[in-house]
Structure 1
């Protein structure tokens, strides 16, 4: 009876040890999300411009200047700018290499000291070698993204360029889609209607992620990921 209890205790400890090791291994194999370095913050409030009061009766105020004969365009911190996101990147590469090398050696004896020609017969040595190698490789990648987002000017750089950033969140039932964008805009690239194409924006950062049941369903469970990384094949 004591031996049976001892065996059960050992089996329980062994099972607990294996389970703990599997759990710790699974914790180390949790999926990591690739991070996009979107400029922070994604919104900004207009900065109050303090200008000395001028009592000359003029209606012009330098701190609140807006061109009279010009469409509204983003130019100050806190202004909004609509971005037409059209990003398409494709790349492909192919390589082929072939190497072939062959050689042959042939030798024969026609005479030896104190031996006649008849004694030698057709004594000879020959050899040949051939080496061949052929290899092919190829890779292809294609990404396409399109959408529209209204961003906010979060900083005006010394050269007049605008640093913009924005975020859009859409929630439906238990799912939420988040779109974040940031980049650097030359004011001269802004089109009528206060919009600009993403192709004319420098240092573009675009991030779209989902949260909720739909996003969780696309992930591999921790136990499946553990065996996927543990098995050699």
Structure 2
């Protein structure tokens, strides 16, 4: 008897553990780790100790010493300022109208040489004779209308670092910014590929000129937590059939 009671308790504990397990699986993880570095240190170009040549006016690294040259970002580790001004809007609408009418009229004046009433004058005690004729009408119609409208605007400025130089000469950039105010953390991440000739003389570039751009702006904290469903509500949302 005691073993059976313990088994019943164990069976009752299993659904509770399963609910907690599903709730733990349904929790969302951060898509961005704001504490990690943007690029590893081994990607930065190390300055080389160049020996001055005999008769040279500028010993060592001469980058940026050209009179008619510019000092735009061009190597891994340089910084580019990205002006984000994204406006996206879309509208979709659909209208459906269908109609179908079907009618059926079938009569049998004679059945195997006999009259259609088959001699039955009081069919089912209704006081009328038997009539095998069939007359049916079916009408079906449907009307549907749907409209979807989405608008999104993001305006910001973020500095990005050149992480790689592609064989085509284009620059791969990545930028990350994290601002924490009163335990509420706002995280912005930008990744993409830019052309060196699109970079302005002041090392700025608009986000509209970034290829393969991925821009993420999200928050973590009290306000963000209140905008999410609880773990139990997520479980019921996944298994609720209606």
Q: Normalization by structure 1: what TM-score?
A: 0.72
SS in 2 for 1:88: strand
Are the structure 2 counterparts of residues 41 and 126 from structure 1 closer, same or farther at C-alpha, using a change threshold of 3 Å?
A: same
* Structure 1 segments unaligned to the other structure (5+ residues): 110-123
What is the aligned partner in structure 2 of residue 91 from structure 1?
A: 90
What is the aligned partner in structure 1 of residue 125 from structure 2?
A: none
Are the structure 2 counterparts of residues 187 and 179 from structure 1 closer, same or farther at C-alpha, using a change threshold of 3 Å?
A: same
Are the structure 2 counterparts of residues 107 and 215 from structure 1 closer, same or farther at C-alpha, using a change threshold of 3 Å?
A: closer
Determine the C-alpha separation between the residues in 2 that align with 1:19 and 1:104. 58
Q: Is the 8 A contact 1:42 1:152 kept in 2?
A: no
| Correspondence for 2:14 among 13, 17, 40 | 17
Q: Is the 8 A contact 1:51 1:62 kept in 2?
A: yes
SS in 2 for 1:227: helix
Determine the C-alpha separation between the residues in 2 that align with 1:167 and 1:87. 17
Q: Does 1:144 align with 2:141?
A: no
| Correspondence for 1:163 among 169, 172, 182 | 172
Deviation at 1:198, TM superposition (A): 0.2
What is the aligned partner in structure 2 of residue 117 from structure 1?
A: none
What is the aligned partner in structure 1 of residue 63 from structure 2?
A: 64
Q: Does 1:182 align with 2:182?
A: no
**C-alpha RMSD of the superposition:** 3.9
Determine the C-alpha separation between the residues in 2 that align with 1:51 and 1:161. 27
Deviation at 1:184, TM superposition (A): 1.0
Determine the C-alpha separation between the residues in 2 that align with 1:35 and 1:208. 10
Q: Is the 8 A contact 1:181 1:206 kept in 2?
A: yes
Determine the C-alpha separation between the residues in 2 that align with 1:99 and 1:42. 61
Determine the C-alpha separation between the residues in 2 that align with 1:68 and 1:56. 19
Deviation at 1:41, TM superposition (A): 2.2
Are the structure 2 counterparts of residues 58 and 229 from structure 1 closer, same or farther at C-alpha, using a change threshold of 3 Å?
A: same
Deviation at 1:96, TM superposition (A): 1.2
What is the aligned partner in structure 2 of residue 48 from structure 1?
A: 47
Deviation at 1:202, TM superposition (A): 0.7
* Structure 2 segments unaligned to the other structure (5+ residues): 109-132
Determine the C-alpha separation between the residues in 2 that align with 1:130 and 1:219. 47
Are the structure 2 counterparts of residues 169 and 105 from structure 1 closer, same or farther at C-alpha, using a change threshold of 3 Å?
A: closer
Q: Deviations over 1:93-132 (max 9, x none)?
A: 11112233446677999xxxxxxxxxxxxxx987655443
| Total equivalences in the alignment | 219
Matches within 5 A, 1:195-210: 195-210=204-219
What is the aligned partner in structure 1 of residue 241 from structure 2?
A: 232
